[in-house]
Amino acid sequence: MVVESKVSRSDFLADRAKPHRNGKSAGMGTYRYYICTEGLIGLDDLPERWGLLWVNKRGHIKLKAGHVCAYLACGYRGHELAPFWQHPADQRFELDMLAHALVRFGDPEETKQLVRGAHRERSRLAAEVDRLNEEIKQYRLDRWRLNTYEQKYGELERQNSR
């Protein structure tokens, strides 16, 4: 399966000239999807047998077209419709790309550790953001309490702290 990301309409339209898009040569992936922001590509714009995934403003992915729709709509019998979505794939090219990716990745264990470290850092930063947001809430509450007190009892005398 290939999922190709498009960030602009012109990027999507430029793809129509590629030989593996118009059926003149085999491309990668038995099943092919575009993923884009909601509404960037419409169902009528899709090349034959291509699926479509939309990403909304909240980051949720919405399945609009593709072989997975057949499974969702028809349950187990969806596998009968799946061949409609299949493309002839250049498996030799796919294997070459996979080999190239493995060479670039280097040690898979090192890559796994790097990804785990990135997830830990993301979690740490998310916790820090949550803590700071709670701190901001507390400062706002304290400011509101102070303003309420001053409205009721007048200005507080502030001592210079040195």
- Per residue in 65-123, pLDDT (tens digit) is 888 877 777 777 777 777 778 887 888 888 888 888 877 777 778 888 988 999 999 99
pTM (predicted TM-score): 0.57
Angstrom distance (rounded) from CA 117 to CA 23? 42
pLDDT of residue 92: 85
Question: 3-state class of 53 per DSSP?
Answer: strand
Half-sphere exposure of 104 (CA within 13 A, CB side): 6
Residue whose entry in the numeric block shows the structure tokens 């047998």: 49
Helices (H), 4-162: 9-14, 67-74, 91-105, 108-153
